[in-house]
């Protein structure tokens, strides 16, 4: 499984379009690697990607001068690696949050993503947030 080549790149601004692109990219990866719709590793990865993507597209787009989100998805050996770059405000405080209690309606997104990935990288680079999501397949 480690020898396939897969490299997907896109930019987007809008929440609906952005999420559609993210899910479509994982579908393409699924097909490219011959995995079925129930492949657990990719399902977990897609779940984490949806959470980070939603965070980026909802918080980042509040900034009036927001530039498009840059997204890439690739295979690196037996790992799938996604990168997202956005011009939203820093998110260090949200990243530190634990999983909230069961009757809480929101605030789970980043905690879910963190627990599903092998690596969730985040760095503030000038005015940009740079995310890196890694999952072994």
CB nearer to another protein: pick between 64 and 102: 102
Give the span between the Cα atoms of 21 and 80, in whole angstroms. Answer: 16
CB nearer to another protein: pick between 2 and 57: 57
CB nearer to another protein: pick between 124 and 136: 136
CB nearer to another protein: pick between 7 and 105: 105
Beta strands in 1-137 (DSSP E): 7-12, 69-76, 79-86, 119-125, 128-136
Q: Coil, strand, or helix at residue 133? A: strand
**Whole-number minimum distance, CB 125 to another protein, in Å?**
26
**Whole-number minimum distance, CB 137 to another protein, in Å?**
16
**Whole-number minimum distance, CB 42 to another protein, in Å?**
10
Quick one: which of 67, 54, 73, 51 has its CA closest to 132? Answer: 73
Q: Coil, strand, or helix at residue 81? A: strand
- Footprint of another protein (CB under 8 A): 15-16, 19-20, 23, 38, 40, 43-44, 46-47, 50-51, 54, 58, 99, 102-109, 112, 115-116
Torsions phi, psi for 132 (to 5 deg): -135, 120
**Whole-number minimum distance, CB 79 to another protein, in Å?**
20
Q: Coil, strand, or helix at residue 83? A: strand
């Amino acid at each position: 499984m480690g020898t396939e080549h897969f490299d997907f790149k896109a930019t987007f601004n809008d929440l609906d379009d952005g999420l559609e692109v993210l899910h479509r990219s994982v579908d393409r990866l699924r097909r490219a690697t011959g995995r079925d719709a129930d492949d657990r590793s990719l399902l977990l990865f897609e779940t984490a990607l949806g959470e980070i993507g939603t965070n980026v597209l909802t918080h980042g787009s509040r900034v009036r001068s927001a530039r498009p989100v840059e997204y890439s998805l690739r295979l690196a050996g037996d790992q799938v690696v996604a990168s997202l770059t956005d011009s939203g405000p820093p998110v260090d405080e949200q990243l530190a949050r634990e999983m909230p209690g069961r009757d809480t309606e929101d605030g789970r997104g980043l905690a879910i993503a963190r627990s599903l990935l092998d690596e969730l990288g985040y760095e503030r680079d000038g005015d940009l947030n740079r995310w890196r999501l890694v999952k072994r397949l």
